[in-house]
Amino acid sequence: MRNSRRLVFVAGLLLIALVAISVTGCGSSKKRRHSSSGPVATATTTSAAAFHTCEDAWAAGRAPLRRHDPGYSAPLDRLDGKEDGVACLVRPSTAPR
């Protein structure tokens, strides 16, 4: 009878430890998500290296521009109406207007 109580007790402790490990994520290989409470990089590049038009970015071979890429600017990102952090995703038409 005593041996069975010890066995149940040890099994209970192992079960509690397993639940604690799974809740805390110990041993998981998934990447942690970054919280937005930390320092945030600026969304626009205000340096002189920012492209004035998407045609300039495509001509330089730098398009599409991501938010943290040199040459990115918020006005370029607003051109497609999405403001999703990717500017000049679609090559501008080279046909004369």
Give the model confidence (pLDDT) of 55-71 as tens digits: 999 999 998 999 999 99
Q: What letters, b where the CB count within 10 A reaches 16 and e where it falls short, cover 37-57?
A: eeeeeeeebeeeebbeebebb
pLDDT of residue 86: 92
- Average pLDDT along the chain: 76
Instruction: With respect to residue 48, please indicate whether it lies within any of the assigned structural domains.
Output: yes
Instruction: With respect to residue 27, please indicate whether it lies within any of the assigned structural domains.
Output: no
Instruction: With respect to residue 14, please indicate whether it lies within any of the assigned structural domains.
Output: no
Instruction: With respect to residue 23, please indicate whether it lies within any of the assigned structural domains.
Output: no
Strands, E assignment, the chain? 65-66, 86-87
Between CA 8 and CA 10 the distance in angstroms is 6
Instruction: With respect to residue 4, please indicate whether it lies within any of the assigned structural domains.
Output: no
Find, among 91, 11, 80, the residue nearest to 54 by Cα.
91
Instruction: With respect to residue 80, please indicate whether it lies within any of the assigned structural domains.
Output: yes
**Domain hosting residue 50, numbered range:** 42-90
Instruction: With respect to residue 52, please indicate whether it lies within any of the assigned structural domains.
Output: yes
- pTM of the full predicted structure? 0.46
Count up the domains in the chain and report the number: 1
Question: Which tokens is 42 given?
Answer: 């600026």
Using the predicted structure, report yes or no on whether residue 74 has a pLDDT greater than 60. yes
